[in-house]
Structure 1
């Protein structure tokens, strides 16, 4: 069961032993050290939902709400008290009347203090780090909208909608068979883009932007609003360098790690000594 789930949903890269151990731990509902037939059937039904499997893989790192219990394909997770990450939900009649610039400004009105925003942002950066060639393979986040994230009373980020994640192997397989006329045809989900090979009229498989670049774009206004004056210029430079990352760069792994570590270090220097963090 565990092997087929791994291959069909996550590809060939994930750490098999770790994944099987994780699934068996969940399946042993009464903690008697064995998985009975009813427990196995219930777990099998649960794991047919991609969002549950991905949530399980990330919950030990604190990125997703913890699974509290389940029966077949019905399940319950811990409550995430604050969400979305930022932004206001305007009544639909007002949306078309409010200019985009004003909407973006309003999104940042009701947010925590800056040190707490920095801690929440660190959580998103750590999520990106953990799914970039991580224990269970590589994943892309194909919709980084604030609505898919929340945070706890301790200002720890939670990914509340794992449906926005896709294993990179699955993404590549999907794009490989996608016909195209222009780059605009090569989109997976909301914002996972590749380019169009105009000769073959097929989408290329390399994503144009890594998760980190999109995460920095999502965090730019969130972090710059209210940032300490002595930090703002350096923070802005690092965020723009991060947003400029491309998916096809020859030094992708090195650049990714360098920019990620520099940004995390900058934020940590500012919040490590504050009680708000």
Structure 2
């Protein structure tokens, strides 16, 4: 292990030592994450740390940083430590009761917006398994005339999504319910969104530690073949989609053909899949069968 040149107690020393700890724990970007944690502990920006690496870290911030560092070295997700995650144009609160929003899921938002000629064509939106509310709120942010409903089985998740709507100025156009997918819903929607659990049960323990140990199994485990949630979702879509409506689901790598087959069996029309930044088919768009 290399030595840290800065004297103990300075920003530079804390960052150097923390980088070594995180590297030893298998964190991919240890120096960057050390800066994020120290900035969070000191309630400042990363740029402030870089501007004066010889500044002394206050005692209270040092204690807070030490606690955060131990948790991150144990592979607790960064978003759980800071309580925040960015998604689309939004700043969202997160909790252990919800999946952490990821950039890959932005493909769902892109596909949803591309499925209509203009945002004016999206008036009513439904997000099933809403979690933090990320998908629904991102679409509402782009469609100023739309109203959305988010549903989650976990009461804590629905409550968190409502707080995120308020924090992002969207509370007046969003409602959140606790429920079992669309079981209690009536009415039709122009757009139905979902990022359901789609990991095969046997594969869940082998996910990266941040996910397998700390994110809710309810939002990950898609059953033996990873398709349990899709079976229920496609069965509900014919009664949920308004004429001309679209559904966009997040899917796992290699799941497109299987989900499309389920959709066709339910009388739906697959319209194509959008790839995420890694090139994986991530967002599947479906339509109701024409009359």
Higher relative contact order (CA 8 A, sep 6+): 1
TM > 0.5 fold call: no
What TM-score comes out, normalization by structure 2 length?
Answer: 0.34
> Which has a greater percent of strand?
2
Bigger Rg, which one: 2
More helix by share: 1
